[in-house]
């Protein structure tokens, strides 16, 4: 049977975390207990953080505005960018924060009800933070693909129903 | 006004060919709505994007013409490299490789170029539906060689020895096998090689499913010592790179053989479509990662499906290649045909009767796991319910 392939296990969960442990066990050629304990272990180690659903907000008629903000930061002795990043990611409006290479330092994804709300958040909360040099706000106009899933593509099977 | 009944204008060899065993079942499925079909003999993946994109680029640059009869030199060179690297068999790209319209054309070319009237060809059973008819159309005589679940559907020398005659010309080797998923390992192939040597047979090795080998690694028949000259190796891109509709395959062999096959190809097909050849080139050059991703997916589905069959009482030997499971349906007390028809009518799940691939497929069904996990899960649940009902009916 061999040790469980954690990468494959995670790939399966990332594609569909609702698949039963029994089914995963069959797919990986492992017994159910091994699968359960591997998942539990990765949850405990916070390798697996959460099991969210991927949603198409446009279909939902949700008008939430998303923006990506390029933030330039002056790094600080000993902590680099981490402290400023934390000051930013603590805000619930902030959905993601990444440290980037290239022309700016932090990429911040913000959600708000209106463009104005987002713009004000940037002006009043982000831009004024100590060590933040500048911000540039880009609003998302349309989503095509996220996490490997194409929003507007229905999976159609064009194959003949029976073939040799 | 025609002077004779229409049939008398036709070639009796063709008239007498049995229609594909799948045909009748196909019509049945086509007339049922909302079917989950596990009866499909092709990948459910769409050709990887980089391959499709390479084809667009070729079209943009104006590649819309004939190629050499043999196929483009670039593709043949790439195939030679691939065969050497992956399967340790060396072919001279410009004289020993011919690009064909799918592996199917290659099978036909081999039969027509090699067979003299009345010569016999040993065809393992169950197997893909085209071998026996192409032998017949070429004027040869197909001789079925049964394989059995007790041998994991591997071809044995004992079975071959029972069927070989002084008139046998060729042996077909089709592993990994459609419909059983059986593979042949090196020692077993070495025994077959001795048999071929002993009877001085040609071997047509259709290795179209080679890349879809999940346990152990594929051994290409011509890589076995002494076999290269007597082997006609057939492969293609349909299964490995999800490229069925592109119709690109190839045949490798001794240049004397390839030269004669090329003549037939030249007068009938002229060349394989250039777009398909350009796409195939991209597949060979840059398709490894996507191929591995697909193989991984098939492998997980394979374990799942085989596991479920064994749990529900349809004993399923472990298929180590292709994308088919071939479980026994004996617990239901039904024939293959009856099982498939009832399953379709009662649960709207389509699978193919084992008998579509030869009489030795009786008592088995072919289930393609080239289908999404969601489909497979739903189909397995339905089949389980169906099997339970069959057993109840039998008991009462």
pLDDT in tens, A119-128: 999 999 999 9
Interface of B with A in 294-313 (CB under 8 A): 296, 300-301, 303-304, 307-308
B14 found inside a domain: yes
User: What CATH number corresponds to the domain at position A109?
Assistant: 3.30.70.920
Does A80 share its domain with A137?
Answer: yes
CA distance B55 to chain A (A): 20
- Domain end among B287, B306, B325: B287
Does B34 share its domain with B162?
Answer: no
Q: Using N-to-C axis directions, what is the helix angle for B274-286 and B49-60, rounded to 10°?
A: 130
Domain count across chain B: 2
Does A93 share its domain with A31?
Answer: no
Does A63 share its domain with A137?
Answer: yes
Does B55 share its domain with B13?
Answer: no
Rounded to 5°, angle at Cα A81 from A78 and A86: 110
B253 found inside a domain: yes
Within an 8 Å CB–CB cutoff, is residue B39 touching chain A? yes
**A159–B26 C-beta distance less than 8 A:** no
B396 found inside a domain: no
User: What CATH number corresponds to the domain at position B237?
Assistant: 3.40.640.10
If one counts every other C-beta atom within 10 angstroms of the C-beta of residue B198, the result is: 11
B1 found inside a domain: no
Q: Using N-to-C axis directions, what is the helix angle for A32-44 and A6-15, rounded to 10°?
A: 80
A68 found inside a domain: yes
Does A26 share its domain with A85?
Answer: no
User: What CATH number corresponds to the domain at position B358?
Assistant: 3.90.1150.10
**B377–A160 C-beta distance less than 8 A:** no
Dig out the tokens for B206 from the structure: 């259709």
Dig out the tokens for A127 from the structure: 């831009």
Our measurement of the distance from residue A9's CA atom to the centroid of its chain's CA atoms, rounded to an integer in Å, reads 19
Interface test with A, best of B312, B373, B375, B377 (most A CBs within 10 A): B373
Report percent pLDDT > 90 for chain B.
95
Q: Which of A16, A29, A160 sits opposite B303 (nearest CB)?
A: A29
Does A98 share its domain with A26?
Answer: no
pLDDT digits (tens, 9 = 90+) for B124-133: 999 999 999 9
Does A71 share its domain with A93?
Answer: yes
Q: For A20, phi and psi rounded to 5 degrees?
A: -70, 155
Does B359 share its domain with B298?
Answer: yes
* Cβ B147 vs Cβ B154: under 8 Å: yes
Does A69 share its domain with A138?
Answer: yes
A114 found inside a domain: yes
CA distance A110 to A125: 12
Does B95 share its domain with B239?
Answer: yes
**B40–A26 C-beta distance less than 8 A:** no
B395 found inside a domain: no
pLDDT at A101: 97
Q: For B251, phi and psi rounded to 5 degrees?
A: -130, 135
A72 found inside a domain: yes
Confidence class for position B18, pLDDT limits 50, 70, 90 = confident
A21 found inside a domain: yes
pLDDT at B151: 96
Helix, strand, coil shares, percent, chain B, to 5: 50, 15, 35
Does B260 share its domain with B346?
Answer: no
Helices (H), B208-347: 255-268, 274-286, 288-312, 336-347
Does B88 share its domain with B234?
Answer: yes
CA distance A139 to chain B (A): 29
Task: Number of helices (H) and strands (E) in chain B: give both, helices first.
Answer: 13, 12
Dig out the tokens for A65 from the structure: 């505005």
* Cβ B251 vs Cβ B80: under 8 Å: no
pLDDT digits (tens, 9 = 90+) for B155-200: 999 999 999 999 999 999 999 999 999 999 999 999 999 999 999 9
**Residue B230 is part of which domain span?**
49-287
Interface test with A, best of B128, B177, B303 (most A CBs within 10 A): B303
Our measurement of the distance from residue B220's CA atom to the centroid of its chain's CA atoms, rounded to an integer in Å, reads 15
Q: Which of B22, B373, B377 sits opposite A162 (nearest CB)?
A: B22
A163 found inside a domain: no
Dig out the tokens for A18 from the structure: 């609702």
pLDDT at A155: 77
The average confidence (pLDDT) of chain B is 97
**A23–B42 C-beta distance less than 8 A:** no
**Residue A22 is part of which domain span?**
6-44
CA distance A52 to A55: 9
Within an 8 Å CB–CB cutoff, is residue B25 touching chain A? yes
Does A90 share its domain with A135?
Answer: yes
Does A138 share its domain with A98?
Answer: yes
Within an 8 Å CB–CB cutoff, is residue A157 touching chain B? yes
- Domain end among B287, B302, B322: B287
* Cβ B142 vs Cβ B123: under 8 Å: yes
pLDDT digits (tens, 9 = 90+) for A67-97: 999 999 999 998 899 999 999 999 999 999 9
Does B120 share its domain with B16?
Answer: no
Cα separations (Å) of B357 from B179, B360, B365?
A: 7, 8, 10
CA distance B242 to B245: 9
Residues of B in contact with A35 (CB under 8 A): none
Does B37 share its domain with B137?
Answer: no
Higher pLDDT, A58 or B72: B72
Domain count across chain A: 2
Does B171 share its domain with B246?
Answer: yes
- Domain end among B287, B320, B335: B287
Does B197 share its domain with B269?
Answer: yes
Residues of A in contact with B381 (CB under 8 A): none
Confidence class for position B101, pLDDT limits 50, 70, 90 = very high
Within an 8 Å CB–CB cutoff, is residue B20 touching chain A? yes
Within an 8 Å CB–CB cutoff, is residue A164 touching chain B? yes
Does B153 share its domain with B279?
Answer: yes
Does B137 share its domain with B211?
Answer: yes
Does A61 share its domain with A134?
Answer: yes
């Amino acid at each position: 049977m061999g040790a469980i392939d954690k990468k494959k296990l995670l790939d399966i969960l990332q594609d569909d975390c609702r698949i039963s442990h029994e089914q995963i066990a069959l797919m990986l050629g492992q017994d159910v207990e091994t699968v359960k304990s591997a998942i539990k272990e990765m949850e405990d180690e916070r390798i697996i953080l959460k099991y969210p659903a991927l949603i198409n907000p446009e279909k939902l008629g949700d008008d939430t505005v998303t923006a990506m903000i390029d933030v330039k930061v002056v790094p600080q002795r000993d902590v680099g960018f981490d402290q400023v990043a934390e000051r930013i990611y603590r805000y619930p409006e902030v959905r993601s924060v990444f440290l980037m290479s290239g022309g700016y330092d932090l990429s911040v994804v913000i959600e708000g009800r209106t463009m104005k709300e987002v713009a004000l958040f940037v002006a009043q909360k982000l831009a004024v933070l100590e060590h933040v040099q500048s911000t540039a706000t880009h609003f998302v106009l349309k989503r095509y693909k996220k996490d490997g899933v194409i929003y507007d593509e229905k999976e159609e099977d064009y194959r003949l129903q029976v073939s040799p | 006004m025609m002077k004779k009944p229409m049939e008398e204008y036709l070639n009796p060899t063709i008239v007498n060919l049995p229609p594909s065993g799948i045909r009748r079942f196909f019509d049945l499925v086509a007339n049922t709505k909302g079917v989950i079909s596990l009866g499909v003999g092709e990948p459910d993946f769409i050709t990887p994007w980089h391959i499709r994109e390479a084809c667009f680029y070729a079209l943009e640059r104006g590649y819309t013409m004939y190629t050499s009869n043999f196929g483009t030199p670039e593709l043949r060179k790439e195939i030679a490299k691939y065969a050497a690297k992956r399967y340790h068999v060396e072919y001279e790209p410009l004289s020993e490789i011919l690009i064909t319209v799918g592996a199917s054309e290659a099978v036909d070319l081999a039969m027509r170029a090699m067979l003299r009237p009345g010569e016999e060809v040993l065809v393992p059973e169950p197997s893909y539906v085209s071998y026996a008819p192409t032998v017949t159309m070429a004027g040869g005589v197909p001789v079925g060689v049964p394989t059995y679940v007790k041998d994991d559907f591997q071809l044995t020398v004992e079975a071959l020895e029972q069927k070989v005659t002084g008139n046998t010309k060729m042996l077909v080797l089709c592993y990994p096998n459609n419909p059983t998923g059986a593979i042949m390992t090196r020692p077993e192939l070495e025994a077959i090689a001795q048999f071929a040597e002993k009877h001085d047979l040609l071997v047509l090795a259709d290795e179209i499913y080679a890349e879809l080998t999940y346990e152990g690694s594929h051994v290409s028949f011509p890589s076995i010592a002494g076999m290269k000259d007597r082997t006609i190796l057939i492969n293609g891109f349909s299964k490995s790179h999800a490229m069925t509709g592109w119709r690109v395959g190839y045949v490798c062999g001794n240049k004397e053989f390839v030269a004669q096959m090329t003549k037939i190809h030249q007068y009938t097909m002229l060349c394989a479509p250039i777009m398909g050849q350009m796409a195939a080139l991209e597949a060979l050059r840059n398709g490894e990662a996507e191929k591995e991703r697909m193989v991984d997916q098939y492998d997980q589905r394979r374990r799942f499906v085989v596991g479920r069959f064994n749990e529900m009482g349809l004993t399923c030997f472990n298929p180590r290649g292709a994308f088919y499971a071939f479980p026994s349906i004996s617990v239901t007390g039904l024939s293959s045909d009856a099982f498939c028809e009832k399953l379709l009518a009662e649960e709207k799940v389509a699978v193919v009767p084992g008998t579509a691939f030869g009489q030795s497929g009786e008592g088995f069904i072919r289930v393609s796991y080239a289908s999404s996990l969601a489909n497979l899960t739903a189909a397995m649940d339905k089949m389980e319910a169906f099997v339970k009902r069959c057993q109840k009916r039998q008991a009462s």
